[in-house]
Chains A and B, each alone.
Chain A
Amino acid sequence: KAGVTQTPRYLIKTRGQQVTLSCSPISGHRSVSWYQQTPGQGLQFLFEYFSETQRNKGNFPGRFSGRQFSNSRSEMNVSTLELGDSALYLCASSLTTGGAGNTGELFFGEGSRLTVL
């Protein structure tokens, strides 16, 4: 079956602009999580959406936001971009969110590499 699809794969923005990244989870998966990967901070959790509701959020400023649609596709938005937002943004999907029966296994996409100039 098709894996997690992230678009765009690469993009370049300038400081102050905003960006929207898209993630299509594996068919049937209802949970979508977002992670930021940078050389300095490593992999950091941004947020998780399940059934169109944000159920968990990492320690990131309000400039980072997201949403999930009824078909489980998710978007994340970063406003007023800063140089430090340059990163690989990884989306991961899972069948369900935490709780009974959830193995916790996440299926990751190849990421969207954002460069802020």
Chain B
Amino acid sequence: AQKVTQAQTEISVVEKEDVTLDCVYETRDTTYYLFWYKQPPSGELVFLIRRNSFDEQNEISGRYSWNFQKSTSSFNFTITASQVVDSAVYFCALRDPGYALNFGKGTSLLVTP
């Protein structure tokens, strides 16, 4: 069975601080896909990144970076120099063999001025 754990329920930081959102996953599949989505107050989930299990190269996109480590089954997400607009709920997800997404419970990030 697949499982995604986001141990941090809520995080509060002051603007310009760096923040890391943790994601730990469980799967028996040798090939799998991991995702991060952002959910602003409006409700829609916004795709941030997809990572294949065979590609452990970390990725940086502007202020966002992702650290994928198969050895620890983790796919962590870091926001550098956080901004108020980053306030949202962030979900880590694992795609199952049927292509449905198994989401973690989400981490609510609040960035205050």
Question: Which stretch in A18-26, A42-50, A71-79 binds the other chain?
Answer: A42-50
Question: Which stretch in B20-28, B38-46, B61-69, B78-86 binds the other chain?
Answer: B38-46
> In the complex, what residue of chain B is closest to A4 when comparing beta carbons?
B44
Given A42-B105, A92-B45, are A104 and B50 neighbors across the interface (CB < 8 Å)?
yes
- Taking the closest CB of chain B, its distance from the CB of A33, in whole angstroms, is 7
Determine chain B's interface SS by DSSP, over half rule: strand
Q: Are A58 and B100 in contact (CB under 8 A)?
A: yes
> In the complex, what residue of chain B is closest to A43 when comparing beta carbons?
B103
Q: Are B100 and A105 in contact (CB under 8 A)?
A: no
Given A104-B95, A105-B50, are A90 and B100 neighbors across the interface (CB < 8 Å)?
no
What range describes how many residues of B lie at the interface? Answer: 20 to 34
Q: Are B46 and A108 in contact (CB under 8 A)?
A: yes
What A residues does B106 contact at CB under 8 A? 42-43
Interface flag for A17 (CB, 8 Å): no
Given A43-B103, A104-B33, are A111 and B44 neighbors across the interface (CB < 8 Å)?
yes
Interface flag for A64 (CB, 8 Å): no
Given A43-B91, A56-B99, A105-B50, are A90 and B44 neighbors across the interface (CB < 8 Å)?
yes
CA A103 to CA B93, docked complex, whole Å: 14
CA A103 to CA B37, docked complex, whole Å: 14
Looking at B35, B37, B44, B101, the one whose CB has the most chain A CB atoms below 10 A away is B44
Q: Are B99 and A97 in contact (CB under 8 A)?
A: yes
What A residues does B45 contact at CB under 8 A? 90, 92, 106, 108
What A residues does B101 contact at CB under 8 A? 35, 43, 45, 104, 106
- 16 A-B residue pairs with Cβ-Cβ distance under 8 Å, sorted by A, are A3-B44, A4-B44, A43-B91, A44-B103, A48-B98, A55-B98, A90-B43, A98-B95, A104-B33, A104-B35, A104-B99, A104-B101, A106-B101, A108-B45, A110-B42, A111-B44
Q: Which A residues are closer than 8 A to B by beta carbons? A: 3-4, 33, 35, 42-45, 48, 55-56, 58, 88, 90, 92, 97-98, 102-111, 113
